[in-house]
Structures are given as structure tokens and as C-alpha cells.
Chains A and B, each alone.
Chain A
Amino acid sequence: MTVSVQEVPGVGSEEPVHQEPTGFWRRYIFSVDHKMIGRQYLLLSAAMALVGGFLAYGLRWQLAFPDTWVPGLGFIGPETYNVLITMHGTTMVFFVAMPMLLGGFGNFLIPLMIGARDMAFPRLNMLSFWTIFTGSLVLLASYVVPGGAAAGGWTGYAPLSARPIYTGVNWGLNLWLLAHAIEFASFLMGGVNFLTTAMTMRAPGMTFFRLPLIVWQELTAAVVFLLSVGPLIAGAVMLLMDRIAGTSFFVPAGGGDPLLWQHLFWFFGHPEVYVVLLPAAGLACEVLPVFCRKPLFGYRWIVYSTFAAGILSFIVWAHHMFVSGMDPRLAMPFSITTILISVPFAIMVFAMIATLWGGSIRFATPMLFALGFLAMFICGGLTGIFNGSAPANIPLHGTYFIVAHFHYTLLSGVFFGGFAGLYFWFPKMFGRMLNERLGKVHFWLTLIAFNATFFPMHFLGLAGMVRRISNPLQYPSLEPLQAVNVFITLSAIGLILAQVPFAFNIVRSLRAGEPAPANPWEATTLEWSTASPPPHDNWGETAPAVYRWAYEYSSPDAGEDWLPQDRLLALKP
């Protein structure tokens, strides 16, 4: 009898991945448990959101009431203003949106949703969190070094960023670059973990097309990030060399080319926005079927659209550079690729709308936020059509129209998609229910304040208000519009205050919220088949086996209006 030895990839590992930790440090600080790490990422993103939100408050106050004393900040001169807008963008994109949507939800959900006991590399996972934590500290440190923090815009265009003399910022910008390098490393570690885990540790029966959509979105985001960040890492090294080693990669006086930086930045920068957007859309797509009691419409088509969007995201980047001085003949090809990328997102939007048709809709807080995401993202996507057409871009580039566009597309993801996810999975993460009434108050206040803040920016942009100016009153054509700026600022402050009910809800529910059952929403995906919160090894004695796709709601084959993925039915196949 011959014995052949083979590897059996794809089988959920039955060996215990790691022992249950004892003691405060191993349990809460240096944890290798993906659930704890996911919560740590959420906490980090919440803390950095306070920083980013404070920066937004400061810059908006200066815009509405120029050269007045800003409560909590003092007088903001133009140098400080440039720091505020730079660090607001950097903080929000890299230290709030990404840790929340990828590090937080990705880490917490992926192993649970695929039926694994943890990620493929738990210690690498822990390292990834502490890496971005370190990066956050480096970014915060940049505020206190001589010369202050980075002030070249979150896009850091050269030569402004390449020579300290142009901004007056020295170590602040170097630390800014270092913070980026560190957080890139963190997300690379995370991406490797997500992809390896999903490829090799799915439970028996969990084929790829039975994965919940959010898992597809996280995986696509991981691949897109992994493959797009390299050139910017190269560019960041080159920019650092320009700043400290006397090179001139991006400085024409020394033989360099400022446009090279822009190409390297946006080659990553554009895919990056989809890295943020796709998980956010995924969160909304998970919530909709549950509260419509109806399958996610066109799941397969949404998956294909996700692939298409991911691939196309690599060939649209120069739509940020139509008026940059690059060869004008490149404008039409990039306009076309940009217009093409609207198609997969149109499919996703239409599929989400079609999910509502014929449903049995309940308006719980997670559902409200998911609907809010859908509506706000539609607005943001539509303004993208203006920006993506090269000649239409001419009057709009560098104005507040663009600011409106990216807040409607990105912040809708972070706020509405993120909150949909938080309200939905809070019971699973923390074993407590959040208060519904406070949730609804939070939703309506946020929705109103969000639109009040960002919708008027479209008009300011059309009127010609350019970005990154600290005092609109310096422009005669903008003086009559100052009331709009004041309105936006007051709405922005309202948007920040609208988060207070949410914070209060979280704190109170963590301590005294109603204990959560395993499956309060009667949802079908695997994480709801285990306790709230799940035990250390996620499943106890037996890991689940999967018999169907993730959205079996109101199936004619079942009495109840939901059928979990891991419930065996002794029925016809």
C-alpha cells in the first residue's frame, strides 16, 4: 500500500491557531486575535478622526471668519492653514478611512465570514496594527518639530514639497513621508494576510462565489492597494532623497521633472480611492439584504463589477492631471477610461436599488445608514462625470467642486458605509446592542449636516473658488459668496456635533447596553452563527461547513425568511 502525502489547501485548519490569552497585556494590547486587532484598528481610526475633525473645524472657521481668533486654536496664519488642510487630508484618508474600513472591518469580519478561526498570519496581523500605530505617532510628532508639520497638501506636489525652502517646513515633511511609508508597510502586511487567509482558509463548502460581498470588496481592495502602492513608495523615497540627499528627481533646476511625482502619486492615488470606496460599498451591500429580507440583487454581477473597477482603476490616474502640463493628447484617452469606470459603479448602484424592489424593508439604524451611503454615493459619482471629461474639468479642477466631489464619494463611504457597518456589527463585536433611538437621531443629524456642509461647495467651485486658500475675502468675486462659506462652516460644526449621540451611544452601550444575542438581525452569514462576541477560537469545538450562498432570504424552500449559510437542510439540492 502506498501512502502519498499531499497538501490540502483550502481546508479550514482544525489545529488551534493560538491559545486563548491570559492577562491584560496579551489580551488587550499585544493580541494576535483578529477580533481584538479589528477593534484596535477601529479605536485608532476613531482617535485619529478626532484629530482630523479638529483640523477640519479649524480650517473651516478660518474660511468663514478669516483672521479671527479660532476657539481652541488661536489665530491661523496662512502657513498654519496650509498645515491644517494638508494634515486633514492625510489623516482622514490614511489614518481614519483605511484603518476603519480595511483594518477594522476587514480584520474582524474576514475570518468569521469564511469560517476560519483567525487570519493566516496572526502575529503579522498584530505587527500590522502596531506598525500603523507607530506611523500615527510619527504623524502626530510632525506637529511639534521645528518648522511645523507638512504643508504641501495631502498630494505633496513637487517642487513645493521637494525643497524645504518653498514651504518653510523641514522635518515635518520628512516625518510626513516616513509616516506614509510606515502605514503603507502596515497595510501591505494586512493585505497579504487578507488574501492568503481567503485563499487558503475557507471552511468546507465556502466556495469563492458563496463569499459575502464585503469579503470580495476587502480582497479586491487588498489586491489593488498591493499592486498600486509600489510606485508611490518609490516616489516617496525619491522625494525624501530630494529633500535630504540633494537629488533633483522632481526639481527642474537639477534636471528633474515635477510631473514625475504627479504620475507616481496618482498611479497609486487613484486606485487608493477605490481601496477606500469598495469596502464601504461592501458594508452597505451586506446590510441591505438583511433589512430587505431579500437576496442581494445581482451578486455575481456586483462581483464582476468589483473586478472591473479594480482593474480599470489602474488606467485612469491622469484624470487628476488634465491641466498639469502633460501632453494634451493624453487627455482624451484618460477621459475615456474614466468614463468607463463609471459603468461598474453604475451596476453596483442599480443592483443596490434593485435589492430594494419587492423587499420587506425595515428601517433599523444600519439600514438607514446603508441607504444614506447609496444616496450620497450617487451624488458623488454623478459629479465625477463632470470631472472626468477633460474639457469640463478645465473650469472645475482645483476648485471647491472637486472638494465636494471627493467628500460625497469618500466621506459617504466612511460615514454612511462605516456607520452602517458599526451599527450592524457592534452587537457581534462587543456583545451589546446599541440604542436604536439614539442611532436614528445620529443618522438624521448626520445626513442633514453632511449635505448642508458639502452640497454648497459645488456652487462655490462653479463660481471659481479655488482650493487651499485661507481667506476667500481676498478675492473680490468671492466676497458676495461669503455667506455660503459661513453656512458651510456652521454645518460642518453641526456635522461634528452630530457625532456626539453616536459617541454617547457607544460608551453607554458598551457598559450597560442590552446583551446581544448571537443573531439579533436574523442574518445569514457565518459570523451570526456564533456567539456575540465570538469565543476566542471563533467557533468552539466545530468549525462550520457551508451549504449555500450568503443571501438566502425569503427563500421559497424555507419556512423562515432567512436561511443561514451553515444550516444543513435535508431537502432537495
Chain B
Amino acid sequence: MMRWLPENISTYGGDIDALLSLIYSLTVFWFFLTLGLIGLFLFLYRRRDGRRAAYVRGERPAEAAWILIPAAIVLVLDLWIDHRGADAWAKVKGHIAPTAYRVRVTGKQFNWEFLYPGPDGKFGTPDDLQLDNELHVPVNQVVHGTLTSKDVIHNFFLPNVRFKQDALPGREVEFWFQATKPGKYEIPCAELCGFGHSGMNGTLIVHTPEDYQQWVKERWPSQ
């Protein structure tokens, strides 16, 4: 199952994938147990001449235990999943480490606008640069983004980073990620946003440090 996931290139992607693996193991276990028992019972207890079904109501504690104890095991395993998940969630959606790499992401019908603060590191100054559909980041650096929308709800989805967040008009959501491998990756919009939703797809470009310097030089030549 895990091989279907896109390549993980983020520092917290591993936590998410580990959780998915854990859940997968547990669900596969329950799947084979339940379907196996069903198959077995269908075979063992098919109608045969001279054999009457057992009169078992399953309401007395001794009998009900057969369904209540497995249910309790389900509960315990489920709570364990949530316990493991709490850390992963806090990592992704919680505290953002300080970083020089900021970007403002605005979803609109029908592309992603990326606003870079430029060499001065501040938004709202003349050296700000807006690019459509291109998110340039250096590898192995924390990137701190601010997400919003100009019109309807979009969803900023970085499959390779294991990051996803709705972009809401009138609201700013802070997020972060740290890419671990250079390359080009997709940024599909994952929330129906109108007739241009299909094909609303940006590109995440993760640069090596040298390439990133090169890109900065090209974009801000005078600095």
C-alpha cells in the first residue's frame, strides 16, 4: 500500500507515513481476521442434513464476551493510534520554528499566487515578487508560509510533503515544511473551487543551495 504514496521529501512526512503504516497493519489484521472467520464459518456451518443450528443468543456475559472483548481490543488499538497521532499532528500543525524563508500563498480561481518578500525579508516592500504557480524553496530549510484565498476555498496540497491545508478567504493560516530532496513536485488544489478546479496545479521547486542562490540572483538582480 505504501508504495502508492508519492515520494516523501519532507521532514515530517516520515511521521505521517509511519502512522499510515501502523494503521495499515492494524486494519489488514482486522480485515483478514474478520473475513477469514466469515469464510470459515460459511464453510463449517453450511446447512447439512440432520444438523440443527446452535441456539445461542449471545446476551449472557459469558457469550457476549465473544463480541465485547474483541470490541474492547478495537478500542484500545484505536486509542493507541490516536496517541501516536497526537505527536505527528502537533509537529505539522503546531509550533513553527523561526526561519528566514517566508512566503505568502494565495489561492484564487484558478491558480496559486506566491509572494516572496525578496532579499529584505519583509512583505509590503518594493522588492516583493509575485510568481504564479511556482513555489521556490531551498532544500533542508524550514519554510514558513501564510496561506489565504482571494475568492473561494481552495486547498493547498503538497503530496510529496504530506501537507494539506484549506486556503480560506478572509483568513490567514500559518504553515511550515522542510523539504529534504531537490526536485519539482506538484501542488494540486484539493478543494472544489469552480470550473477551473481541475488543472489548478502549481509546482514546488526545491533547489540545492547553489541553485537557490542562482534563482535569487536571477530574480533580484540588483541586490
Contacts and interface: CB of A to CB of B under 8 A. Distances in A.
Direct A/B contact, Cβ within 8 angstroms = yes
B164 interface: yes
B78 to A, nearest CB: 4
A106 interface: no
A556 interface: yes
A475 interface: yes
B100 interface: no
A299 B58 contact: yes
B46 A361 contact: yes
Contacts of A386: 20, 23-24, 27
B31 A382 contact: yes
A43 interface: no
Given A347-B68, A354-B66, A398 B41 contact: no
Contacts of B208: none
A151 B197 CA distance: 12
A300 to B, nearest CB: 5
B192 A397 contact: no
A462 B5 contact: yes
A323 B165 contact: yes
A371 interface: yes
A159 B186 contact: no
A555 B55 contact: yes
Interface residues of B, number: 84
A231 interface: no
A376 B3 CA distance: 24
Interface string A474-485: 111100000000
Interface in B43-76: 45-48, 51-59, 63-64, 66-68, 70-71, 74-75
Given A160-B152, A358-B56, A385-B81, A297 B94 contact: no
A360 B197 contact: no
A282 to B, nearest CB: 17
Contact of B74 (A343, A357, A361, A362): A343
Interface string B12-31: 00011001100110110011
A554 B53 contact: yes
B188 interface: yes
Contacts, number: 289
Nearest to B203: A476
Interface string A540-565: 00000000000101111000010000
A166 B152 contact: yes
A85 to B, nearest CB: 8
B201 interface: yes
B193 A160 contact: yes
Interface stretch (A134-142, A327-335, A412-420): A327-335
Interface string A112-123: 000000000000
Contacts of A299: 57-59
Interface in B138-165: 151-153, 155, 157, 159, 162-165
B155 A323 contact: yes
B26 A358 contact: no
B24 to A, nearest CB: 8
A253 interface: yes
B139 to A, nearest CB: 20
Interface in A467-494: 467-471, 474-477
Contacts of A471: 198-199
Interface stretch (B85-93, B117-125, B126-134, B213-221): B85-93
Interface string A75-105: 0011101100000000000000000000000
B168 A325 contact: yes
A324 interface: yes
- Those 7 A-B pairs whose CB atoms lie nearest each other, nearest first: A252-B170, A358-B54, A297-B58, A464-B159, A398-B190, A298-B58, A391-B88
14 contacts: A160-B152, A295-B58, A298-B59, A301-B67, A324-B168, A350-B71, A357-B41, A357-B54, A359-B45, A362-B47, A397-B190, A471-B198, A477-B6, A553-B53
